[in-house]
Amino acid sequence: AQKITQTQPGMFVQEKEAVTLDCTYDTSDQSYGLFWYKQPSSGEMIFLIYQGSYDEQNATEGRYSLNFQKARKSANLVISASQLGDSAMYFCAMRGYNFNKFYFGSGTKLNVKP
């Protein structure tokens, strides 16, 4: 069975500082993908970053990077230089061997303070 765990229900960060959102996963699949999505208060789901299980380098997209530690089964999201617009819910998700089945964590609510 696939499972995603996000242990931080809420976090605060000062504007312009970096923040790490934790995500651990459990799967028996050899090939899988890890995703992070942002959900602002308006409700839409915004794709941020993807990491494949066979990718040797950590994924980066602008201010977002994914700290992938395969042996520890963790896929933490790092947001550098936080902005007020980063305040939102953040969801970690995993897709296993079945490409169409995504499993989501319970989310972390990030508040960026001015």
Partner 1 sequence: NAGVTQTPKFQVLKTGQSMTLQCAQDMNHEYMSWYRQDPGMGLRLIHYSVGAGITDQGEVPNGYNVSRSTTEDFPLRLLSAAPSQTSVYFCASSSYEGNEQFFGPGTRLTVL
Q: Which residues bind partner 1 (CB under 8 A)?
A: 4, 6, 33, 35, 43-45, 47, 50, 52, 91, 93, 95, 99-107
Burial of 108 (0-12, 13-18, 19+ CB in 10 A): buried
Task: Judge whether 38 and 48 are in contact, CB under 8 Å.
Answer: yes
Tell me how far, at minimum, the Cβ of 92 lies from partner 1, in Å.
8
Q: Residue 16 or residue 101: which is nearer to partner 1 going by CB?
A: 101
Task: Judge whether 111 and 13 are in contact, CB under 8 Å.
Answer: yes
Tell me how far, at minimum, the Cβ of 6 lies from partner 1, in Å.
8
Q: Residue 35 or residue 68: which is nearer to partner 1 going by CB?
A: 35
List C-alpha distances in Å: 114 to 1, 22, 26, 65, 83.
41, 23, 36, 22, 8
Tell me how far, at minimum, the Cβ of 69 lies from partner 1, in Å.
20
Q: Residue 20 or residue 55: which is nearer to partner 1 going by CB?
A: 55
